[in-house]
Structure 1
Amino acid sequence: MSNILNEHFSLTGKVVLITGASSGIGEQLARAAARAGADVALAARRLDKIEKTAADIAAETGQKVIAVKLDVTDGDSVTACFDTVEAALGTVTVVGNNAGMAIPKWALEDTEEDWDRTMNTNLKGVWRVAQTAAKRMADAGVGGSIINTASILGLGVSPQQTTYATSKAGVVHLTKAMALELGRFGVRVNAICPGYFVTEINEEFLSSDNGQKMLRSTPARRAGKLSELEAPFLMLAADGASFISGVALPVDACHSIKLVGG
C-alpha cells in the first residue's frame, strides 16, 4: 500500500506556496505539504508568526521551509513574494491559495468598505496569486496545481454572510474559468470548499451558544477538524490527480447539501 500512496500522493520535488499561512487552515496545509515531501513557503502579512512555524516544520520534516511576507491585496507584494520563493526554492508548482477574511453582518448593515475589504482579499487576492503562479508555471514549462480555498458558502448561503458568500462564489467560478483556460499549460486549478472548521475568523462565533446550536443542526453535528482538510488538499496537489481540474470540492460532511436543499 505504501508504494501506491507514494506514487499518487507524494509531493516530493514540489515547491508549495501557502498563503494565509499564519494560522488555521493555512498552517495546517503547510505542515501537510512538508510531511508529504515538498519544500514549502509559508506566506502571510504577519511575518513574525510564520517564521517560528516555518522553523518548526523544517525541524520536524527535514524539508526546506521558508517564511515570506505577503499581502494579497497588494500586487507588488505578490510579485515580491514569488520572486523570493523562486530564489530560495525554485518555481512554485503547487499553490494553496488560502488567504481570506470575513465581516459577518446583516445585508442591510454591510458597508462599501466591508464589501471592498472582503472582495480585495477573498476574490481579487486569490485571483492575483493564482494568475501570478500560473504565468510563472507556464513560463517555466513545469505546470502545476493551484488549489483555491473557497467555502460551502460559495455553494449556498446563510444569514449575515452576504458579502463573504458572494466573494467565495466568485472564487468557485474563478477556479472553473481558470481551469478551463490553463489546462493547455499543464496547470490544474481546483478549489476546496470547507464547511465549518474552527479558525481565527470564526472561533468566537463557533464557541458561542448560537454557534454551538448551529453546529448541532448540521449533518455531522460538529465542526470539522483541521486535519480533515489535509487529504483533500494533498490529493488535489499531487500528480495522482493529474486529470482533475475545475472542481469545487466540498469538505463539509454534506453540510452544503443541506444548505442548498433548504
Structure 2
Amino acid sequence: MSKQARTQGPVIRRHDQVLPTTTDQRLLSSKGDGEWVHSDPWRVLRIQAEFVEGFGTLAELGPGIGVFGSARTPRRDPMYAAAVEIGRGLAQAGYATITGGGPGIMEAANKGALEAGGVSVGLGIELPFEQALNKYVSLGINFRYFFARKVMFLKYSQGFVVMPGGFGTFDEVFEALTLVQTRKVTSFPIVLFGRAFWTPLLDWLEDGVLAGEYIASADLSLLQLTDDPQEAVALATGPGPQPRPSAARQMS
C-alpha cells in the first residue's frame, strides 16, 4: 500500500487524510492535554456505557408504564394529584411507574407508586438547569444522552400515560406515535390524560394533518383520551389499539 494510504481498522485514509501517527502511538503518548476524552470516538464509549448500564439495571424490572408530563406542575395543581393516583393505580395493577425522575408530574407519579408499594423508576437526564432525581424514585439512572434515555423508556415500558406538558412531553408522544405507526413497537397504548389540554391538539391533527392526507384516519386511533386516573391506568395496561398494517403488508 502506498505512503498515501493507511488502513486504520475499518477506516481507510488516503492523500491528505492520512494522519502522521498511528492509533497506538497516540494511545501510548504521554504528551498532550485531556481534550481527547471529549472527542467523538470517546463519546461512543460513553454512549455504549449508558446503554450497558441502563439494560443491566432495568433488565429484571418487570412490566412498566411510562408517565410523562410537565416538570413545572406545582403540587397544588389537580394534575399533580391525578398523577399521584395514576402512579398508585399502576403499582396496584402490578406495574412499575417509569418517569423522567424530575419534579412536577414526574414526582407525583413516582410518589403514588412508591407509597403504594410499587417500583418507582426515574430515568434522569443531565441538563444545565435541572435538579437531581426526586425523592420518591426507588430505582434511578441518570443519563447524559437523550436518545439513550428514550430507548430505555420505550424498551421497558408497555405503554405511556401522557399528562399536560411542554416540548419534552410532546417529543415523547410523537416519537412513540411514530414507532407504533411504523410498527417498530406493537400493542403499545398511548393514553393522553386531560381532555381540555389535549383536545385542541387532536382537533388540529384531524382538521389539518388528517384533512391534508398526511396521516391516515386509523393513525388517530393510536391516541386514547381520558380525564379519569383509573381509566388511564386501565387503558395503559391494556393491549392498546392495533395499528393498521403497513402498505407493504397490504400489498403482499
Structure with the largest fraction of helix: 1
Q: Same fold (TM over 0.5)?
A: no
Q: Say which structure, 1 or 2, has more relative contact order (CA 8 Å, 6+ apart).
A: 1
- Provide the TM-score with structure 2 as the length reference: 0.44
Pair member with larger Rg: 2
**TM-score under structure 1 normalisation?**
0.43
